[in-house]
Each structure stands twice: as C-alpha cells, then as structure tokens.
Structure 1
Amino acid sequence: MDITSDIHSRHISRQFNQELEELKTHLMAMGGLVEKQIQEAVVALLDGDSDLARRVVENDRAVNDMQIKIDGECTQVLARRQPAASDLRLVLAVIRAASDLERIGDEASKIARNAADLIEGNNGSRGFVEVRMISEHVRRMVRDALTSFARFDTELALKLVHEDEEVDEEYRTAMRSLMTFMMEDARSISPILSLMWILRSLERIGDHANNLAEYVVYLVKGLDIRHTDPDDLDERAITRKE
C-alpha cells in the first residue's frame, strides 16, 4: 500500500501521530549534523585547519548518541503501538536510515583524521580538486536523500539511485589520477595514500546516501529495491509494481 493513502494524520491516537512525527524530526536533525560533519571534514583538509579536523572527530560521539536515542524511540513505538502497514515501514525505515547516517558520520571522522595527518605533514594540495568535486556531489546526495525522506518523494529518491553510479565513476577516475602521481614521484606515496582513503570515505558516503534513497522507496511503496539494477528503476515502473 502506498503511504500516501494511509497517512498518519488518520490515527485515532494523537499521541501516536506525534511519536511518528518526532521520529522523522529527530532523524532529520541527525542528518543535518552528519551533513555538517562531512562539510567541516573537507573544509579542514582544504584549508589546512587541524583544529577543525579534531572537532569533527570529537563530534562523532554526538552522532553516535543520536543514533542510540532514535533506536530507543523506535523500539518504544514498536513495543507500545505494534504498528502495521505504512506505520511499521516508517519505523523500520527510520531505524535503517539512522544506521546509515551513523556510518556516514564515521566516514566523515575518517576524512578528518586523514586530513589531520596530511596537514601535520604539510604535504601540499595535490588531489584536492578531486576531493572537492566528489565531496560536493556526495554532500548534495545526502541532503537530497534527507529531503526525499522528509517529503516521501520517490522521484527524487530514484534520481539519487542513478547518481550513485556517477559518484562511483568520479571515484574511479580520481583514483587513477592519484595512482599516476604516485608512479611519477615515490615521495608522494604516503600523502597520496591518505588522499585515497579520503576519497574512499567519500565514495562510501555516496553509497550510504543511495541506501537512504532506497529506504524512501520501501517506505512509500513497500518495495525493496536494494538489489535491483538502477537501469530497471523509474517512477513509472515502480508504480506498476504496487
């Protein structure tokens, strides 16, 4: 059943409505914090700001705490309300989404740690163009994934599933470029490896944003598209599968 035909405002219990809305609100707040973590980790690298890099690492604990809080709230809703249909899908989607946001926070922390190492070694700015380009792309994906979740927007979610393939190609291109740098100058191996780990973290963030988009389709349409070829997915095809 499409969630738009079973909207939460029809619950007899106003308190239940409020609990479901709070789950979404807290997930969006966690998403906002995670998006900020990504931005600040990359800014720390590009600006050579070691203090900012350390703050990003320290703030990862706040992301973890938010996931624990959301998981606890979802558990209480499941135990007290025993939700069915779209309500159950919402709770399950929030649990899954919070897990992916926590992992995005972990990747942002890894970026910040590698940035701190590069800053300490004063290793120049080689590879920063690639980092800037991919980081802007995946940050936009995370923001759009959260927007699609908040609005139950499957069209935007499906767009993100296709965008993940673009990030993967950008990542492969950047890695080939950095490999060339290492072959040309053996002294660059250590800093280039740190940049490769940063790019790997950014690519993983794109994967997690893709997961968030897939949860939106599950939430709204009740369909699991995790192992479906993106070329087979569009709004019309999903509508036919209902």
Structure 2
Amino acid sequence: MRRAFEEELNDLHDQFYQMGLMVSEAIYLSVKSFTTHDKKTAEKVITNDPYINEQQVMIESKSIELIALQQPVTSDLRRIITIMKACADLERMGDHAVAIAKATIRVKGNKKDLAIENNLAIMAESVKKLVERSLTAFIETDLKEAKKIALKDNEIDQMAFEIHKQTLEEMKKDSELVLGATNYILVAGNLERIGDYVTNVCEWIIYLESGKIIELNTHNTLDNTSFK
C-alpha cells in the first residue's frame, strides 16, 4: 500500500512539473508574440490556456482523492497540500501570459519602440528562467534555492519599474507612441505579477519542509494553519 501511494505521489509531482513547463512556454510565447507582433502565436497561447486549466483540475482532483482514500501522514499531507497550492499559482501565471497574448492581438498598427520591446524580451526571459528554477526547486525540495529565487523578485520588480519609466519618457517625446506604449506597461505589469507568483511557489517549498508559511520578501512568519 505504501509503495503504491508513493508512486501516485510521484505521479502527482510529475504532473505538476509538466504543468509548470506548459506555463513557462506560455510566458515565453506570449512575450515573443508581443515583441515580434505575431498574432498567430498569441492566439496559440490563448488556445492552449484551457489545457493548463485542465491540468490544474486534474492535479487538484487527484490530490483530493489521495487525501480522502489514503489518509496520508502529516508529511505526505503537507506535500499534497503544497502541490495543490503551488498548482493554483501556476494557473495564475498562465492567466497573465494570456493577458499578454491578448495585448498582442489588440495592437493594430500602433507605433513601436524597439528598445522598450527588447527590454520586455529580456525581462520575459528572466521571468521564464525563474519559473523553471522554481519548478526544479519544488520537485527537489531545495530550500536554499527557493530563497535565492525569491530574492530575484526584486530584480524583476526593478525591470518593470525601469520599463514603466522608459515608456512614459518616450510617450512624452512622441505622442504617436502613446496608444501602443500603454501595452508596454501592461506587459511589464503582467510579467511582474508572474514574478510574484514565483515567490509564492518558493514560499510553498519552505512550508513543505517547515510547516510554516514565510513571506520570503518580508520575513514575516505565519502559523501553519494559514494559507494564501
């Protein structure tokens, strides 16, 4: 019985990791579509989003089934709960990727600023790498790595700030840029939110090991009955 349960738990981990890779790809493609003005790729991101949502439903359903039928011990229960919670964070990351893709489709011949778009591409690559690192850290329960990743969120926030500032400056110089440039701020904001959800995943890694939720960017510890 125990062996069968561990196999099911491993399968749950695999499903979580695969969902994470789907989300990572959605983030990459959404920003690529935006900076290359590729509406077909943007539509692909939107079309694939229901598959990400289905993965979340499958993972949560399997998690509930394991809890109900296997009555796991405390450490296993905590692992299942963290998968469910982190899974919800992944789904929200996917939603932000869709928001970026929709911005691509809305753009109709607006004037572009290649320097800003290049900075958005750099920011997106940084966010994508953090998503992938957080997935690996989650699977390996790597607390040290989780804390390192969470600290990187400040860099993502700074990138978003710089893009926002740069966009406003360029809008002042060129009124023709105003309509399209508002989307630059939107995309940077969505990427920043994805970075926040990466931090959430890192916090669940800490919870998995300690039973406590620690807000990694503020060092505020909550009791183990609290959930985000």
Task: Give TM-score scaled by structure 1 length.
Answer: 0.86
Q: Percent identity?
A: 29
Does the CA contact (< 8 Å) of 2:150 and 2:217 recur in 1? no
Distance change >3 Å, CA 184–CA 125, structure 1 → 2: closer
Aligned to 1:157: 146
Aligned to 1:121: 109
> What's the secondary structure of 1:121's corresponding residue?
coil
Does the CA contact (< 8 Å) of 1:160 and 1:213 recur in 2? yes
**Which of residues 115, 121, 124 is equivalent to 1:132?**
121
Structure 2: how far apart are the matches of 1:16 and 1:36? 30
Structure 2: how far apart are the matches of 1:49 and 1:74? 38
Structure 2: how far apart are the matches of 1:206 and 1:227? 13
**Which of residues 159, 177, 184 is equivalent to 1:170?**
159
Deviations 1:164-221 (A, max 9, x none): 1111111111111111112222222111111111111100110011111111111122
Does the CA contact (< 8 Å) of 2:206 and 2:214 recur in 1? yes
1:194-209 paired onto structure 2 within 5 Å: 194-209=183-198
1:90-105 paired onto structure 2 within 5 Å: 90-105=79-94
**Which of residues 9, 34, 42 is equivalent to 2:31?**
42
Task: Give TM-score scaled by structure 2 length.
Answer: 0.91
Structure 2: how far apart are the matches of 1:23 and 1:121? 45
Compute the displacement of 1:71 (Å). Answer: 0.7
Aligned to 1:25: 14
Structure 1: how far apart are the matches of 2:172 and 2:130? 33
Does the CA contact (< 8 Å) of 1:24 and 1:94 recur in 2? yes
RMSD: 1.7
Query: How many aligned residue pairs are there?
Result: 220
Does the CA contact (< 8 Å) of 1:107 and 1:201 recur in 2? yes
Aligned to 1:186: 175
